[in-house]
Amino acid sequence: MTAKHFALQALPTDLVQERMPRHVAVIMDGNGRWAKQRGLPRIMGHRRGVDVLKRLLRCCRDWGVEALTAYAFSTENWGRPTEEVEFLMALFERVLRQELREMMEEDVQIRFVGNLEMLPRSLQAEIDRAVSETKNNRGIHFTVATNYGGRQEIVQACQAIAAQVQAGTLQPDQIDEAMFEQHLYTHGICDPDLLIRTSGEMRISNFLLWQMAYAEIYVTNTLWPDFDREEFHQALISYQQRERRFGKVL
């Protein structure tokens, strides 16, 4: 660990600190295409994608973004070839084990959203360890969506609320947006202000459906393994030029 790791990168002068998004969410797409373009197996794209995420996390912390959420594996991604799914699960586990020390040093608080019970047991154990060891860190809130599906999240919240109604501890008219939110995986995390999707796809692929209600969306054609600090800078410039109206007339 060198002191270089801790040298904060200053905010580019064309960005305004007061207009920075509090919460950035990313759909890290295009790993497979990046590898294919180079005649490499898809997994090489995923491997490189991890380094890109690490750098983005550090950049967010340096530039004063409070929270970063990354879509690592969707509920639909189980439909990929078994070798790719197994590689991803092993990759997540290895990265968590290897990066825990640096996350502590860089004051990162990690959490996971998604249906974690379906993940391999050894990965669940690494997740539990990383979440509990970093829980008091305050440098940046880093959320990883793993076996995450927005519809699944909403359905499990409905089930939990319906069980309370059935038990007689809750009246239907007590259900409102605020209480519903408490049953989502993301409770306690503010909604994303900016959603970035790489590789040019204009869709949200079941990511944070509830939470994305008023997120600003930025799509770049760059594939995730090529997404760098300058690309993030461009996304932030675009974000800072938007007028967020939230349905009102300004």
Question: Does 147 participate in catalysis according to the annotation?
Answer: no
For the beta sheet containing 140-148, the strands, ordered from the edge strand earlier in sequence to the opposite edge, are: 108-113, 140-148, 67-74, 23-27, 194-197, 216-219
Q: Which of ligand IPE, Mg ion, none binds 124 (CB below 5-8 Å, type-dependent)?
A: none
Question: From the CB of 5, what's the least distance to ligand IPE, in Å?
Answer: 26
Pairing of β 194-197 and β 216-219: parallel
Convert residues 210-249 into a mask of x (bound to ligand IPE by CB under 6 A) and - (unbound): ----------------------------------------
For residue 27, state whether it binds ligand IPE (rule: CB under 6 A): yes
Cβ atoms within 10 Å of 23's Cβ, excluding its own: 22
d(CA 67, CA 57): 9
Question: Tokens 């580019």 correspond to what residue?
Answer: 12
For residue 119, state whether it binds ligand IPE (rule: CB under 6 A): no
Give the residue nearest to Mg ion (CB): 29
For residue 29, state whether it binds Mg ion (rule: CB under 5 A): yes
Q: Please identify, using beta-carbon distances, which residue of 33 and 55 lies nearer to ligand IPE.
A: 33
Pairing of β 108-113 and β 194-197: unpaired
3-class state of residue 13 by DSSP: coil
> Residues at the annotated binding site for substrate?
30-34, 42, 46, 74-76, 78, 80, 197, 203-205
- The crossing angle, in degrees rounded to 10, of helices 82-105 and 42-62 is 20
> Residues at the annotated binding site for Mg(2+)?
29, 216
**CB half-sphere exposure, 249, CA atoms < 13 A:** 0
For residue 71, state whether it binds ligand IPE (rule: CB under 6 A): yes
Which residue among 62, 77, 191, 226 is the active-site one?
Answer: 77
Is the Cα dihedral 95, 97, 100, 102 positive or negative? negative
Near ligand IPE in 32-51, by CB under 6 A: 32-33
Question: From the CB of 29, what's the least distance to Mg ion, in Å?
Answer: 4
CB 23 within 8 A of CB 236: no
Question: From the CB of 120, what's the least distance to ligand IPE, in Å?
Answer: 16
3-class state of residue 183 by DSSP: coil
Question: Does 29 participate in catalysis according to the annotation?
Answer: yes
Residue numbers at the binding site for ligand IPE (CB under 6 A): 27-33, 71-74, 77, 88, 199, 201, 203, 205
